[in-house]
Homo-oligomer: A and B are copies of this chain.
Amino acid sequence: MSSLAPEAHIATIQWISNEYFGLNGTHYDTLEAPPSPLEFGRICRISRPVLIKGHRIPGVDRWTDEYLQHVMGDRSVSVALTPNGYADAVTPGPDGRLYFAEPAVEQMSMGCLLSKLACDARVSAKLSEVLYLQSQNGNLYSSSYFDSTEDELPELAPLRQDVPPDISWCTEALDRHPDAVNLWVGNDLSVTSIHSDPYENIYHVVRGCKVFTLLPPSEGWCLRERLYPHAKYARPHPGAPLVVQPTPGADPIRWSSILHPDHDDTLPAVAHPITITVRAGESMYLPAGWWHHVRQEGGITIALNWWYDVEMQGMTWTWLSLLRGPEDVPSGNTEADEENL
């Protein structure tokens, strides 16, 4: 489809941003008990984040380190490694340019992961690489499970016995199964840089605590998205430290140039971030298209999430497309942006 003139497009988004903030402010609801499907349907219609207490997942109550090691045994799980905790984030490369760098991925047992995470949390980050189980590919349940075409079990399948494939009140409200269910295991050193997903998302924190910095879709224009060449962390030889390795021929990645939206002074004054802390036993509804930066507190943090496809009928997709802004964004490798990082 044809694109809008960038200036008109940005002016429109700024107008929407102002109107939307005027009506909604930074309010979010906190529920003391999980919603009924009917209530959750209303919540989805409003499409603002909600902190949900009291949604129990009995199976995960037994998730001590020993239990997780025992259930997973020697199976290897894919773990993201970075020197600084920023996986899928903007990072300087070997040539001094900025890259969108994916983490290195190494295989290890759950026991090894948990012991390294416990160690990392005690010693200085400088001494160790940062590990984060964040494979987010439906590592517990993927769409093939739901449409009964699963021919290979995901890495974390042994933990399915403790995690339901869906959240009943969400499934009923949206009239669809999840597209993916993921486990996330990290510590205070791992950070997820700000981005948005085209999914309705239910997070549930099992252990530790997650601190979300959120912006509505209407304020994505404040995130100064730029184009970055693609790279991936790699270990040149066994035992060597990780280095950023540019990916030849890869398409550039559009990503926010703001690394720390959770710091007061890095967002423009017209952005109105919402901070929601989700503690062990609590859940959060993160609506489709909402921007989120996630950090963790309290040592080893274990969380689950259920992604549901966004509704494609009606206005939502058009609304989110409009708010994504012009297709052409500037290169991130300019002097101004390097100063910003």
Q: Please indicate the chain B residues that have their CB under 8 angstroms from the CB of A70 in the complex.
A: none
Q: Please indicate the chain B residues that have their CB under 8 angstroms from the CB of A174 in the complex.
A: 42
Q: Which residue of B lies closest to A41 (CB)?
A: B41
Q: Does A7 contact B (CB under 8 A)?
A: yes
Q: Please indicate the chain B residues that have their CB under 8 angstroms from the CB of A340 in the complex.
A: none
**Chain A residues close to B by CB (< 8 Å):** 1-5, 7-9, 11-12, 15-16, 18-20, 22-24, 37-38, 41-42, 44-48, 172-175, 217-218, 311-315, 317-319, 321-322
Q: Please indicate the chain B residues that have their CB under 8 angstroms from the CB of A3 in the complex.
A: 15
Q: Please indicate the chain B residues that have their CB under 8 angstroms from the CB of A24 in the complex.
A: 313-314
Among B7, B48, B319, B322, contact of A313 (Cβ-Cβ < 8 Å)? B48
Q: Does A48 contact B12, Cβ atoms closer than 8 Å? A: no
Question: Shortest Cβ distance from A290 into chain B, in angstroms?
Answer: 11
Q: Please indicate the chain B residues that have their CB under 8 angstroms from the CB of A48 in the complex.
A: 313-314
> Can you name 7 A-B pairs with beta carbons within 8 Å?
A4-B11, A5-B8, A8-B11, A12-B322, A38-B38, A45-B314, A46-B314
A318 to B319, CA, bound (A): 10
A314 to B27, CA, bound (A): 11
Among B2, B5, B173, B319, contact of A42 (Cβ-Cβ < 8 Å)? B173
Question: Shortest Cβ distance from A63 into chain B, in angstroms?
Answer: 32
Q: Which residue of B lies closest to A14 (CB)?
A: B4
Q: Please indicate the chain B residues that have their CB under 8 angstroms from the CB of A41 in the complex.
A: 38, 41-42, 45, 173
Q: Which residue of B lies closest to A13 (CB)?
A: B12
Q: Does A319 contact B319, Cβ atoms closer than 8 Å? A: yes
A217 to B173, CA, bound (A): 25
Q: Does B15 contact A322, Cβ atoms closer than 8 Å? A: yes
A9 to B10, CA, bound (A): 11
Q: Does A318 contact B23, Cβ atoms closer than 8 Å? A: yes
Q: Does A1 contact B23, Cβ atoms closer than 8 Å? A: no
Among B5, B37, B47, contact of A314 (Cβ-Cβ < 8 Å)? B47
**Contact (A42, B12) CB under 8 Å given A19-B318, A312-B23:** no
Q: Please indicate the chain B residues that have their CB under 8 angstroms from the CB of A5 in the complex.
A: 8, 11
A47 to B46, CA, bound (A): 13
Among B4, B22, B42, B315, contact of A15 (Cβ-Cβ < 8 Å)? B4
Question: Shortest Cβ distance from A322 into chain B, in angstroms?
Answer: 6
Q: Please indicate the chain B residues that have their CB under 8 angstroms from the CB of A322 in the complex.
A: 12, 15-16, 19
- Please indicate which of the listed interface residues A2, A4, A15 has the most CB atoms of chain B within 10 Å of its own CB: A15
Q: Which residue of B lies closest to A19 (CB)?
A: B318
- Please indicate which of the listed interface residues A5, A8, A174 has the most CB atoms of chain B within 10 Å of its own CB: A8
**Contact (A321, B173) CB under 8 Å given A45-B314, A47-B314, A314-B24:** no
Q: Does A315 contact B38, Cβ atoms closer than 8 Å? A: no
**Contact (A318, B12) CB under 8 Å given A38-B38, A48-B313:** no
Q: Does B1 contact A22, Cβ atoms closer than 8 Å? A: yes
Among B4, B8, B11, B37, contact of A38 (Cβ-Cβ < 8 Å)? B37
Q: Which residue of B lies closest to A48 (CB)?
A: B314
* Apart from A23-B318, A38-B172, 18 more pairs, CB < 8 Å: A2-B18, A4-B11, A4-B15, A7-B8, A19-B317, A19-B322, A20-B318, A23-B312, A23-B317, A24-B314, A37-B38, A41-B45, A42-B174, A45-B45, A45-B314, A46-B314, A48-B313, A217-B315
